[in-house]
Amino acid sequence: QLPTGLYKKVLVILHDSILPYMNEPTLMIDFLTVAYGVGGAISLLALNGLFILIHQHNLEYPDFYKKLYSLLDPSVYHVKYRARFFHLLDLFLSSSHLPAYLVAAFLKRLARLALTAPPEALLMVLPFICNLFRRHPACRVLVHRPGGPQDMSEDPYVMEEEEPSESRALESCLWEIQTLQNHYHPEVARAAAVLNRSLSELEDDISGLLELSAYELFDKEVKKKAADVPLEFEQIRGLFGKKNDIFAQHFALD
């Protein structure tokens, strides 16, 4: 049993500073699979090492996608290791051989969790969702479903279901994206509106958005040049600008 702090430090460097120098990296299978089952940030950090074992050493991990699906909770858009997690999630969902029900479950869960995500995370996950639609055209029914559910009460999707195949995601639609089209941040509303049009064949590059911070987003907005917007058509008179304003008899605006 390792202390939580040490557990995280080991997992952060395991994939590039330990596994490449081991004669038998497969000896770390038990350690990584146990770490993957712990939950929270430790599970997110274990993904890097597991990816190397799966990709380079033919590790077969039963229920891998089920566990990956369970890692999608409201905190995933707020954690320190968000960029690393979504980079790996993008890799794991890149195969065109994945069944449509599985990708639809991930799409629906990402969209549902996006309703409470901060703007900097939304600007990353919305292009991520568009890329999944480009790779898996069978899932576009989630966008183009006439007469689909319009809110959570009518939605057949079962958010609490741990098994992606039984979540009924393919029967639903992404009304959450339509909700985000009315987001208070104009960049988020613009990114969500992309799904109203035909998607291009080329995928969006999200590498520059993975580590986007709230400070960078705020700094970008502050540096924008605002156009002069007329606020009043008629020159204001009196304190409250009303005709026969009693205050105009006692106060004047110079």
Distance of alpha carbon 174 from alpha carbon 161, whole angstroms? 18
Q: How far is CA 210 from CA 29, 85, 170, 244, in A?
A: 28, 9, 27, 57
Tokens for 64, please give them.
């891998």
- pLDDT, position 219: 84
- pLDDT, position 115: 92
- pLDDT, position 243: 63
Distance of alpha carbon 93 from alpha carbon 35, whole angstroms? 21
- pLDDT, position 96: 80
Tokens for 130, please give them.
């568009």
- pLDDT, position 49: 85
Q: Which residues contact 238 (CB under 8 A, 6 or more apart)?
A: 245, 247, 248, 251, 253
Q: How far is CA 249 from CA 60, 145, 241, in A?
A: 84, 62, 12
- Tens of pLDDT along the chain (254 residues) come to 778 888 888 888 888 888 888 888 888 888 888 888 887 778 888 888 888 888 788 887 777 888 889 888 888 888 888 888 888 888 888 888 889 999 999 999 999 999 999 999 999 999 999 999 998 988 888 887 766 666 677 788 998 888 998 998 888 888 889 899 999 898 999 999 998 888 888 888 888 788 788 888 888 878 877 777 666 666 666 666 666 667 767 776 66
Tokens for 165, please give them.
């195949």
- pLDDT, position 253: 62
- pLDDT, position 254: 62
Per-domain boundaries in the chain: 97-145+155-219
Distance of alpha carbon 145 from alpha carbon 172, whole angstroms? 8
pTM (predicted TM-score): 0.76
Give the total residue count for the chain: 254
Nearest to 183, CA basis, from 117, 106, 113, 107: 117
DSSP state of 44: H
